[in-house]
Chains A and B, each alone.
Chain A
Amino acid sequence: MNTAWLNFDPVLLWTDALILTLLAGVLVLVWFIRRHEHLRAPWRSVAQRPMAMGSALVLSVFVIIGLLDSLHYREKLPDSLADAPHYSVDVLSVFDAMVGDLRTQQEKTYSEPLAMQLYAKEFVQRDGVAVREYPRLKFGGSHLRHASERVPDITRRSLIGLAQGLAVSLLLFGLLAAWQARRTQNSFGEWFMLWGEGRLDWPGRTVAVIVTLLLMMGGLLIHLAAAYHVFGTDKVGQDVLYISLKSIRTGLVIGTLTTLVTLPLAIGLGIAAGYFRGWIDDVIQYVYTVLNSIPGVLLIAAAVLIVQVYVESNPDLFDTAARRADIRLLALCLIMGVTSWTGLARLLRGESLKLRTLDYVEAARAFGVSHTRIISRHIFPNVFHLVLIAIVLDFSGLVLAEAVLSYVGVGVDPSMHSWGNMINGSRLELAREPVVWWQLGAAFTFMFTLVLAANLFADGVRDAFDPRQGGRQ
């Protein structure tokens, strides 16, 4: 494709491609579920649970940021020729473009959240005399003339941000109310009454509150981040808020792509073991028992090292730093997937053992239906809910696993933004006095929010799909 007329060069990293495939897959699945009543019903009940809907909204913010961060490109260098364009070696993403200066406003080293001075004293030339003091930041609070203006300025910006967030959410709510009222053929007031009493068929109040909170938080961050480093800066002066936001994609990639590797193994082998029994069962059980008894970290460390050696000996295959980091991330996903399918496989084996003796499977066998058809029409649809619950539950575990592995040093590439790397980076600084806490704090907050939201959502999904909990809300 000739992209010369563009002033950028789209870059499709391996993980980007897989994420887009996954997104397409999810959309197909949604379409499929919508067409099948028995699949749709539990999801409808998920949508009626306030907790699940609230956490789904929070999750969706993370997902949107992660997706925007997965559309990569390289900028055209300003002095390159029109017919033979040269592109920058930096691979940027749509998200980078949206946050604008946040990426480039780099300080010299550590600075506290919302500070206007560095965290370390330096010799500064003042009126020709070298004075040792906290120097002013290049960007954070640089518009202030005096330290006493800082707090009023922060307050003013916070209030404006919150007010704008509130205004936008009110506007959205008004539009929603008008649309819903028209759709249900109620008057505006009636719909509002229903909403207020929580008598809608979806958790209207929770959704409204969460959306408002998210928008207000967004407004706050936008206004503060324009002039300050909201979460401070790290050792090399990079904005911690920016790093935390960039880490979202890493976390999501680990959490989702790993499941993509896990699922075929777990479903295929688990069902095969339970359905066919006999020697097939023995072999599969043997494989996962062996795999389970090897320490996972060992396998992961070995695999990551192999990939690293491969990347270094084939520099022409990986032209940018982003590609090198990306292939390591992908390798990490693969190896984590290969080591973590056993739990789900064991669960599915047990369930298939039970299902294969049920009368409807016997009836299908009495018709001479082939094994592939029995598995695809009788066994798989009846274990599907287990798969779904496992995916959502595993997700948070994998995000946390990445943090631990990067902390140990066998996780993602050190140049890649990730919460594990942030924690690793702040590890040594925790011992210094005064302590540098914000890097760890930011990583913790983001990870905590994502994992909590994912877990709450998983709870909702499990309750909706678990037949024993049936009607309970």
Chain B
Amino acid sequence: MNALLKVDKLVTAFGRGDDALRVVDGISFHVAAGETYALLGESGCGKSMTALSLMRLLPDGGHIASGSVQLDGLDVLVLPEFDMRGVRGGGMAMIFQEPMLALNPVIKVGTQIAEALELHQHLTGEATWDAACALLNSVGVPDAERRLDSYPFELSGGLRQRVMIAMALAGKPKLLIADEPTTALDVTIQAQVLEVLRKLRTEQQMGMLLITHDLGVVAENADRVGVMYAGELVEEGARDAFFAAPKHPYSRMLFEALPRPGDGGRLTTIPGQVPGFDDKLQGCRFAPRCPHTIARCQSESPDWQELNGQRVRCHLAAELPVRIERELTAHAKSTQSEEPLLQVEGLKVHFPVRRGFFQRTVGHVRAVDDVSLSIQAGRTLALVGESGCGKTTVGKALLRLIEPTAGTVSLGGEIIHANNAATLRRRAQMVFQDPFSSLNPRMRVADILLEGMDALGVGAAKDRREVMTQLLRQVGLPEDAGGRYPHAFSGGQRQRIAIARALAVSPQLVICDEPTSALDVSVQAQILNLLKDLQDSLGLAYLFITHNLAVVDYLAHDVAVMYLGRIVEQGAAADVLSSPRHPYTQALVSAVPRIEPQTGQHIIRLEGDQPSPLNPPQGCHFHPRCSHAIEVCRQTFPDPTLLENGHWVRCHWVVAQS
């Protein structure tokens, strides 16, 4: 096959001389026309730097030290900057991760696409506009004519990303570089965008370089896979072969760290973290984290070797034991006590919308609208939904970080109101999503942990230091961690600190707001294991707020699915995820990219986006996107229908079926 893009021993470095940090260190690969090549790796492995090197758009201080990049036989690295501008967009185009940052917020979408068209296709006037409209149509933007006239902020995340793709296609590129194109999007939207990309690739015979950390996305989209680690490519092979039998220990451990449906055992974790580029790199770069290390790995960097069509850089590749599928044990369900720890009835959070000079209330954003939940001690309830459905607001309203508009919350049999908030704060705590913004950078870890105990007067003052050391041990941090500042820790360690902070006041309920979504797969596994251990040893109840269904499957006993401020389906995790009844849950479950070979199950595509909670649709909130919607759905909001095992669903269609 004739290679469209050929990268040979590319080295990208920051700084010069001996101190240079080689963020991309001698990687070689090729992409054929019409083929998708996936670069897979954790953050900090140099994936994005590779893409930027290809485009010659490196940030200040970075430069390409050696190697060659050939696009269709043209050596990109020796081109003068003037010609390079034609290659960018025309030869290869790039889609960025964050569509809001990549579109200019003050220029209309149409004008931005037209700009690219004028530059690369030399179109003018009406023709440009028509071409732009055609492009938006081709990426599946509904009502393209009207969208051309809107500003980026008027579009939802999924539409913005499609506009980005349309812009990238304006120059009819031969190669499309997609840098984490769906990481910032919800699963249902991710499925839409990925499908657009797949369709375009086949239609236009483009080569595609897909950069991602998500094994599921790779499994569904790539033809060939390259695994990057610490600036080097460590394994390369065809998708099917790679997913059947990954050869490099790093790839294997990535697979094993991934929570899988029906999986109840401990996740394999990769100890440590990706080395920084300023560390001394000698021998195999994965050696410090590898369970199979031998003396040779420490001193000698392994060379490529070929194994049944897969190429791998590991001294032991041929000798490694055959990968054993992790045993899929059922959940070791903890004993179920009948008395609920947390009982929420009719929780509502409405934010008033004020307009005009006198700040009159003109409407309400119904962020949370009549939510009822209950959690028993020692169990985990997962609250699942796409961004903007109000799941985080539920968590914050339970802790009274946001004052609820209506509803009762009772914790351990005691109804919580404004006057006994201190009881609540001692019994329920929260772990936040982003470990980088949830720890005050100006406070030492010890002070962070002691803050809650001081404020709530937990334990005697003289014992608190000791409690703190014990907490650090409990979450697996070194004992001297207390004296250091948060910036000295990695993301995973910071999340451990955040968990320790919540545990400091010995709560019975911990609300976890997407605690692993900002972390890499291998680190996510560490945190999930930790949460599970803590639940077993302390009998904690978790309200686990997440959009990641794989994590739900692994950790939760019960699931509640939220759509636009309301719970639409609830039940035991196994029941809901294996046989979802609500059309929304079905779409959500089917949209998750899976690494197992597909078994005839097709993805249920959801049209459009979640409507605004300011003005929710009449009747069932989901009906505009639902393929089963009937007349009654447009008029009345369905009542809960009880199925077996406490599994209930709010859907007219389900009622009609049974």
| Residues of chain A whose beta carbon lies under 8 Å from any beta carbon of chain B | 37-38, 358-360, 362-370, 373, 377-378, 381-382
Are the CB atoms of A367 and B452 closer together than 8 Å? yes
Asked if B161 CB lies within 8 Å of chain A CBs, one says no
Given contacts A367-B455, A378-B440, 4 further A-B contacts (CB under 8 A): A38-B441, A364-B451, A366-B430, A368-B421
Is the CB–CB distance between A362 and B396 below 8 Å?
A: yes
Are A359 and B432 CB-contacts (below 8 A) given A368-B422, A377-B440, A382-B441? yes
| Residues of chain B lying within 8 A (CB to CB) of residue A382 | 440-442
Determine if B577 is an interface residue (Cβ-Cβ < 8 Å): no
Tell me the total A-B contact number using a CB cutoff of 8 A: 63
B396: A residues at CB distance < 8 A: 362
Establish whether residues A362 and B401, one from each chain, have CB atoms under 8 Å apart when the complex forms.
Answer: yes
**Least CB separation from A367: chain B residue:** B452
Contacts of B485 in A (CB 8 A): 37-38
B442 near A369: Cβ-Cβ < 8 Å: no
Q: Which chain B residues lie closer than 8 Å to A365 at the CB level?
A: 401
Q: In the complex, what's the smallest C-beta–C-beta distance from B494 to chain A, in angstroms?
A: 11
Chain A residues whose C-beta falls within 8 Å of the C-beta of B455 in the assembled complex = 364, 367-370, 373
Q: Report the separation of the CA atoms of residues A367 and B505 in the bound assembly, to the nearest whole angstrom.
A: 9
Asked if B434 contacts A359 (CB within 8 A), the reply is: yes
Instruction: Indicate whether B425 reaches chain A with its CB closer than 8 angstroms.
Output: yes
> Given that A367-B455, A368-B455, A377-B440 are known contacts, is A362 also in contact with B422, CB under 8 Å in the complex?
no
B439 touches A (CB below 8 Å): yes
Contacts of B401 in A (CB 8 A): 362, 365-366
CB distance from B399 to the nearest CB of A (A): 5
Q: How close is A132's CB to chain B, nearest CB, in angstroms?
A: 71
A359 and B512 alpha carbons, distance in the complex (Å): 13
A363 and B442 contact, CB distance less than 8 A = no
Q: Which 10 A-B pairs have the closest CB atoms?
A: A359-B438, A381-B442, A367-B452, A359-B432, A369-B455, A360-B440, A368-B425, A367-B455, A359-B437, A358-B437
Q: Closest CB-CB distance, A348 to chain B, in whole Å?
A: 16
* Contact-residue size bin, chain B (C-beta under 8 Å from the other chain): 20 to 34
- The answer for the CA separation of A377 and B440 in the assembled complex, in Å, is 9
Q: From residue B40, how far is it (CB to closest CB) to chain A in Å? A: 29
* B443 in contact (CB, < 8 A): yes
With A363-B432, A369-B451 known to touch, is A38 a contact of B442 (CB < 8 Å)? yes
Q: What are 21 A-B residue pairs whose CB atoms fall within 8 Å in the complex?
A: A359-B433, A360-B439, A362-B432, A363-B432, A363-B501, A364-B451, A366-B399, A366-B401, A366-B425, A366-B429, A367-B452, A367-B455, A368-B421, A368-B422, A370-B455, A373-B455, A377-B440, A377-B447, A381-B443, A382-B440, A382-B442
A360 B438 Cβ-Cβ under 8 A: yes
| Min CB gap A383→B, angstroms | 10
**Nearest chain-B residue to A380 (Cβ)?**
B442
For the complex, give the distance between the alpha carbons of A441 and B525 in Å.
71
- Taking A38-B441, A358-B437, A362-B396 as contacts, is the C-beta distance between A367 and B432 under 8 angstroms? no
B108-148 CB mask vs A (1 if < 8 Å, else 0) is 00000000000000000000000000000000000000000
Contact (Cβ within 8 A) B437 A360: yes
A367 to chain B, nearest CB (A): 4
Tell me, rounded to whole Å, the shortest Cβ–Cβ distance linking B76 to chain A: 29
Task: Give 1 or 0 for each of B445-474: 1 = CB within 8 Å of chain A CB.
Answer: 001000110011000000000000000000
Separation in Å of the A89 CB from the closest CB of chain B?
A: 52
A368:B438 contact, CB within 8 angstroms: no
How far, in whole Å, are A373 and B450 apart by their CA atoms in the complex? 13
Task: Return chain B residues, CB-CB under 8 Å to A367.
Answer: 425, 429, 451-452, 455-456, 505
- In the complex, how many angstroms separate the beta carbon of A288 from the nearest chain B beta carbon? 20
Kindly provide the distance from the CB of A77 to the nearest chain B CB, expressed in whole angstroms: 57
Question: Chain B residues near A377 (CB, 8 Å)?
Answer: 440, 443, 447, 451
Tell me the bound Cα distance from A381 to B486 in angstroms: 15
Residue of B nearest to A37 (CB): B485
B-side contacts of A369, CB under 8 Å: 451-452, 455
Tell me if A363 and B505 are in contact (CB < 8 A): no
Which chain A positions have C-beta within 8 A of B456? 367-368
In the assembled complex, which residues on chain B have CB atoms less than 8 Å from the CB atom of A373?
Answer: 455
Tell me the bound Cα distance from A365 to B430 in angstroms: 11
Q: How long is the Cα–Cα vector from A393 to B443 in the complex, in angstroms?
A: 27
Contact string, B222-237, partner A, CB cutoff 8 A, digits 1/0?
0000000000000000
Which residues of the partner chain A approach B437 to less than 8 Å between Cβ atoms?
358-360
User: Which single residue of chain A is at the shortest CB-CB distance from B513?
Assistant: A359
Cα of A37 to Cα of B486 in the assembled complex, Å: 12
List the A residue with the shortest CB-CB distance to B396: A362
In Å, the complex CA distance between A382 and B485 comes to 14
Residue of A nearest to B432 (CB): A359
What's the Cα separation between A370 and B399 when bound, in Å? 16
What 0/1 pattern do residues 393 to 413 of B give for CB contact below 8 A with A? 000100101000000000000
A360 CB, min distance to chain B CBs, angstroms: 4
Which residues of chain A are near B442, meaning CB under 8 Å?
A: 38, 381-382
Alpha-carbon distance between A369 and B443 when the two chains are bound, in angstroms: 15
A456 to chain B: closest CB distance in Å? 24
| A306 CB to nearest B CB, Å | 37
Give B495-538 as 1s and 0s: 1 = Cβ < 8 Å from A's Cβ atoms: 00010011001000000000000000000000000000000000
User: Once bound together, how far apart are the Cα atoms of A367 and B498, in whole Å?
Assistant: 13
**Complex Cα spacing A369 to B421, Å:** 12
Q: Give A369 to B422 CA distance when docked, in angstroms.
A: 10
Expressed in whole angstroms, the Cα–Cα distance for A64 and B612 within the complex equals 64
Shortest beta-carbon distance, B422 to chain A, in Å? Answer: 6
Interface centre among A360, A364, A369 (most CB of B within 10 A): A360
Tell me, in angstroms, the Cα distance from A306 to B505 when the chains sit together: 58
CB distance from B394 to the nearest CB of A (A): 14
Q: Which residues of B contact A366 (CB under 8 A)?
A: 399, 401, 425, 429-430
A364 to B440, CA, bound (A): 10
Taking a contact as CB atoms under 8 Å apart, the answer to whether B441 and A363 are in contact is: no
Question: Complex: how many Å from CA A64 to CA B528?
Answer: 60
How many whole Å from B475's CB to the nearest CB in chain A? 15
Closest to B439 in A: A360
C-alpha spacing A365/B447, complex, angstroms: 15
Q: What residues of chain B lie closer than 8 Å to A362, measured between beta carbons?
A: 396, 401, 430, 432, 438
Complex contacts, B498 vs chain A, CB 8 Å: 363
- Considering the chains assembled together, what is the distance between the CA atoms of A378 and B498 in angstroms? 16
CA separation between A367 and B430, bound complex, in Å? 9
Cα A4 to Cα B286 in complex, Å, equals: 81
Which residues of B lie under 8 Å from residue A363 when comparing CB positions?
430, 432, 438, 498, 501-502
Complex CA distance for A369 and B401, rounded to whole angstroms: 12
B-chain residues with CB within 8 Å of residue A360 when the two chains form the complex = 437-440
Find the residue from A359, A366, A370, A378 having the highest chain B CB count within 10 A.
A366
With a cutoff of 8 Å between Cβ atoms, the chain A residues found around residue B439 in the complex are 360
Q: Which residue of A lies closest to B511 (CB)?
A: A366
Which B residue sits closest to A358, measured CB to CB? Answer: B437
Closest to A360 in B: B440
Report B534 CB to chain A, min CB distance, Å: 18
Which of the listed residues A363, A369, A377, A378 has the most CB atoms from chain B within 10 Å of its own CB? A363
Docked Cα-Cα span, A373 to B421, in Å, equals 18
What CA separation (Å) do A441 and B451 show in the bound complex?
58
Complex Cα spacing A339 to B61, Å? 44
Collect the chain A residues with CB atoms within 8 Å of residue B429's CB.
Answer: 366-367
Cα(A363)–Cα(B498), bound, Å: 9
Q: How far is the CA of A377 from the CA of B452 in the complex (A)?
A: 13
Task: Give the distance to chain B from A166, nearest Cβ to Cβ, in Å.
Answer: 38
Distance from B453 Cβ to chain A, minimum over Cβ atoms (Å): 9
CB-defined contacts of A378 to chain B, threshold 8 Å: 440, 443
From B422, B425, B447, residue with most partner A Cβ within 10 Å? B425
Instruction: Return chain A residues, CB-CB under 8 Å to B501.
Output: 363
A378 to B437 Cα, complex, angstroms: 12
